[in-house]
Amino acid sequence: MIAADGAEVALRQLVSDGSSGNQLYDGIATGGEGWLRVAEQLRPVSDGAVGESLIMAIQEALPNNPAGVLKLVQRRVFTAQDACGDYGFGQIEDERPTAVIMRLVDRRIKTVTALQLASLAQERKACLDELAQLRTRVAGK
């Protein structure tokens, strides 16, 4: 759809139908390489609520494919703050216990820490800095 109609038209069509939009964000959240390419193509044409949902999907993708997400940071599709500065779906008015949210953050820290690709060292450090700040904020709730 993106190749045929362009990213802007494809995104508009996908989010006009709530279930397709949810499938889009859920797909990106898996961290699959194909889904991350879709996120990269849609990012320049996403703003407002759609942009925020795309960022949350990338945050969800981080523990599933830290290298793939950090490559998007490296290419400046997303910032380290976008990808690592929050914990993904549910963060707006989240009523889950702090311990549950802390486990989500700790999982992200663990997977990014384990990533040892020299080509992503700068992005890894920036992400871990963002995650450390996030962990402090969550602990203070």
Structure token pair of residue 131: 């995650």
What is the pLDDT averaged over residues 45-57?
89
- pTM here? 0.89
Q: What integer pLDDT is reported at residue 2 of this predicted model?
A: 83
What are the sequence ranges of the domains in the chain? 2-139
Q: What integer pLDDT is reported at residue 96 of this predicted model?
A: 81
| Cα 7 to Cα 117: distance, rounded to the nearest angstrom | 31
Q: What are the start-end ranges of the H helices in 6-120?
A: 7-16, 18-29, 33-42, 48-61, 66-74, 80-84, 98-114
Share of the chain above pLDDT 70, in %: 94
Q: What integer pLDDT is reported at residue 35 of this predicted model?
A: 95
| Cα 7 to Cα 18: distance, rounded to the nearest angstrom | 18
Is the pLDDT at 115 greater than 70? The verdict is yes
| Cα 30 to Cα 63: distance, rounded to the nearest angstrom | 9
What is the pLDDT averaged over residues 10-22?
73
Is the pLDDT at 11 greater than 70? The verdict is yes
DSSP 8-state code for residue 32: -
Q: What integer pLDDT is reported at residue 18 of this predicted model?
A: 62
| Cα 109 to Cα 11: distance, rounded to the nearest angstrom | 31
Q: In terms of pLDDT, which residue wins out, 138 or 113?
A: 113
- Contact predicate 31/67, CB 8 Å: no
Is the pLDDT at 16 greater than 80? The verdict is no
| Cα 32 to Cα 35: distance, rounded to the nearest angstrom | 5
